Structure 1
Amino acid sequence: MDSKRGKENETECAKITTVLLKSSTGEFDLESILFLKLINLGIYDLGCVGECINLERLDLSGNNITNLGPLSPLRRLLVLNLSANRISNLEPLSSCESLQSLNLSGNVIPSVDNLHALKSLWKLESIRLKDNMYNYTNPVCKNSSYRTLLLEMFSNIKVLDGERVVGRGSNLYQLCKDIDDTIKAGLYKNGHLSELAECKPWVDDGFWEIKRSNNAIIDEAYKHFSDVLHECRLLNSRAVHVISQNERNLSLKGQPKQYAV
């Protein structure tokens, strides 16, 4: 009975209608809708979503969307999440001229050539084709050089697949490596522990502070950061479990064998 009801609900939400938009946002006028979140509803027809011409943030993740045509009128759209759908053709997004952040992970984009449709989006700063947290990817990601090709194609990209490619975040790996090398070189000299030179700050004051702005990718960055923290906690929990098991096994091996007399 529950499964039947679930299918009925999916059918009701398979197409975006005026009724669905008004009921999910509480707005009477479609042009008043600025933020819209319709996730995991089995949507395959975007219907009248293009009438929300002032839309700034749109989340349609976890649906069955293939045709993005109805999104073409959304020229004020800043953030668009289309993860976990069935999208291969990106042409309709070429008119979304204000787009800054785009999540396409978990779709069926076959090659880098399919991304040429987005070259006109000069404000695009964040694009995601792969999300390891949810095991989302695209066929194009199998190309070992797709990241390089993408960065060449989009000169303004700052975040690719959730990783900073320019700016403060991109310096983190090199910073950690420099710190590690410095510690290794400074701790020991001629095989003996040496006194460390006068410590200096690794980075300037305020380096780690997040500067608030109206940039649309900030919200997406917070989400990515939360996902990374969650994944770290999971990995830590697994590591503790494995270490505990290994310690138990080693302690058992170290015990003298007892023989029955």
Structure 2
Amino acid sequence: MSSAGNFETKESDCLSQSKILAVSGEFDIESVLFLNLANTGINNIQTLELCTSLIRLDLRQNHLSTLNSLKNLKALTYLNLSANRITNIDSLGGLENLCELNLAGNLIGSFERLKCLQSLEHLQKLRLYDSIKQLSNPICHDLSYDDKMKVMLPQLTTLDGMRLEGFGSQLSKICTELDEQIKNERTFGPVGEYPIPSAWLQPGYFSLPSHCEKEEYAITEFRETVDSCKKTNEAAKGNIEALKK
């Protein structure tokens, strides 16, 4: 019974075709485009090599350590491998359409392990550290981590959720600098004094005009109308005289 129990545990750790079809809702394994296998307790994903049409794959929070079965999934654009036991990602170097990759919460300990990503020209978003979920990699503790990553993977626009270029990159840079100052317990320098801004709307802007103000306004409008009529009349007379000549 003990051996049977162990066998059942091993079987449950493996990913079967029937499980893939059940999760995806497809009838043909080659037709599976999206697959969410997060937190399913698997450590063997060899069957995934049959899912050649996969576009999005979520494998977070499992017990994965090897990724060889993913090397031929050329259609993948999104891959989440966070919270696993991965040390080697060389198998991902051939995923030519990959745009977003999450590796936070693994065991990647050197920049050498990331060089395989240099060939992925469409890779824009990479996450190795997640401050919200407290997921990291040993490599993230390198003091020059950010600078080295930018040099190694210049195609990235977002690293660990922070914009590296384009809209929002300046704000991301400011937030990063503030985080560093807080961690190092540095002061932010003297706070400059700025004049108190004046009100946008002057007092009385929304108040209704008084009776006298209404009369003055009406008289002014009447005079301007009369002057306009006089000018029009004079111009008309001038035109008539010109036609007579």
Q: Fold match, TM over 0.5?
A: yes
Amino acid at match of 2:77: L
Whether the aligned pair in 2 keeps the contact of 1:61 and 1:81 (CA below 8 Å) is yes
Amino acid at match of 1:24: V
The equivalent of 1:151 in structure 2 is 150
The equivalent of 2:118 in structure 1 is 119
Alpha-carbon distance in structure 1 between the residues aligned to 2:172 and 2:76: 33
- CA offsets 1:31-88 (integer angstroms, 9 cap, x no match): 1111000011221111210111110000000001011000011001000000000001
**Percent identity between the two aligned chains:** 37
The equivalent of 2:218 in structure 1 is none
The equivalent of 1:89 in structure 2 is 88
- CA offsets 1:157-210 (integer angstroms, 9 cap, x no match): 011001111111112257899xxxxx95542xxxxx46599xxxxxxxxxxxxx
C-alpha distance 13-164 of structure 1, shift in aligned 2 (>3 A) = farther
- CA offsets 1:73-110 (integer angstroms, 9 cap, x no match): 10010000000000011110011110000000000001
- SS of aligned partner of 1:156: coil
Whether the aligned pair in 1 keeps the contact of 2:63 and 2:85 (CA below 8 Å) is yes
Alpha-carbon distance in structure 2 between the residues aligned to 1:174 and 1:48: 42
- CA offsets 1:206-235 (integer angstroms, 9 cap, x no match): xxxxxxxxxxxxxxxxxxxxxxxxxxxxxx
Amino acid at match of 2:169: S
Larger Rg: 2
- SS of aligned partner of 2:79: strand
C-alpha distance 147-8 of structure 1, shift in aligned 2 (>3 A) = farther
The equivalent of 1:99 in structure 2 is 98
TM-score (norm 2): 0.68
**RMSD of aligned residue pairs (Cα, Å):** 2.7
C-alpha distance 9-166 of structure 1, shift in aligned 2 (>3 A) = farther
Whether the aligned pair in 1 keeps the contact of 2:162 and 2:172 (CA below 8 Å) is no
Q: CA deviation at 1:17?
A: 1.3
Alpha-carbon distance in structure 2 between the residues aligned to 1:10 and 1:196: 71
- SS of aligned partner of 1:48: helix
Amino acid at match of 1:73: N
The equivalent of 1:69 in structure 2 is 68
- SS of aligned partner of 2:35: strand
Q: CA deviation at 1:134?
A: 1.1
Alpha-carbon distance in structure 1 between the residues aligned to 2:118 and 2:193: 46
Alpha-carbon distance in structure 1 between the residues aligned to 2:46 and 2:172: 45
The equivalent of 2:133 in structure 1 is 134
Alpha-carbon distance in structure 1 between the residues aligned to 2:148 and 2:87: 18
Alpha-carbon distance in structure 2 between the residues aligned to 1:194 and 1:74: 59
Amino acid at match of 2:16: T
- SS of aligned partner of 1:58: strand
C-alpha distance 8-167 of structure 1, shift in aligned 2 (>3 A) = farther
- CA offsets 1:140-160 (integer angstroms, 9 cap, x no match): 011111111111111110110
- SS of aligned partner of 2:83: coil
Question: Quick check: 1:57 aligned with 2:63?
Answer: no
Whether the aligned pair in 2 keeps the contact of 1:50 and 1:70 (CA below 8 Å) is yes
Alpha-carbon distance in structure 1 between the residues aligned to 2:119 and 2:127: 17
Alpha-carbon distance in structure 2 between the residues aligned to 1:170 and 1:123: 19
- SS of aligned partner of 1:114: helix
Q: CA deviation at 1:12?
A: 3.9
Alpha-carbon distance in structure 2 between the residues aligned to 1:170 and 1:53: 35
Q: CA deviation at 1:9?
A: 7.8
Q: CA deviation at 1:20?
A: 1.0
Q: CA deviation at 1:13?
A: 3.3
The equivalent of 1:200 in structure 2 is none
Q: Which runs of 5+ in 1 are unaligned?
A: 1-6, 178-182, 188-192, 198-261
- CA offsets 1:111-131 (integer angstroms, 9 cap, x no match): 111101111111100000011
